[in-house]
């Protein structure tokens, strides 16, 4: 493996592996859970699906509900230090 891949490439490989896995995760999530994606023939034959509660369940997932209760700060400790520091 040392002949084919140099140590300078490891950070790039790590970043590309992370991005690729995020893309695969999102595509899999959309194919399996998205209410607008119709895989079976019965759902494809319908013009409009009446699945409002399924769509809301998909859009309001657990991470979004959790983040809605959090303040919109990336580093709250540093922000409060500089905000409250005289």
* Segments of the chain with pLDDT less than 50: none
- Quote the CA–CA distance of 61 and 33 in Å, as a whole number: 11
- Quote the CA–CA distance of 4 and 10 in Å, as a whole number: 12
| Domain locations along the chain | 1-33, 48-86
Residues in CB range of 36: below 8 A, 6 or more apart? 49, 55
Question: Under DSSP, is residue 22 helix (H, G, I), strand (E, B) or coil?
Answer: helix
Secondary structure letter of residue 13 according to DSSP: H
- Quote the CA–CA distance of 49 and 40 in Å, as a whole number: 13
As a residue count, the chain comes to 86
Predicted TM-score (pTM) of the model is 0.56
**Residue among 34, 82, 39, 21 at smallest CA distance from 61:** 34
């Amino acid at each position: 493996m040392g002949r084919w891949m140099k140590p300078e490439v490891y950070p790039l490989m790590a970043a590309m592996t992370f991005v690729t896995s995020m893309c695969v995760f999102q595509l899999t999530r959309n194919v399996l859970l998205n209410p607008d994606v119709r895989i079976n023939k019965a759902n494809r034959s319908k013009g409009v699906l009446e699945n409002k509660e399924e769509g809301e369940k998909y859009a309001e997932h657990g991470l979004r509900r959790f983040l809605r209760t959090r303040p919109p700060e990336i580093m709250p400790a540093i922000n409060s230090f500089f905000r409250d520091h005289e």
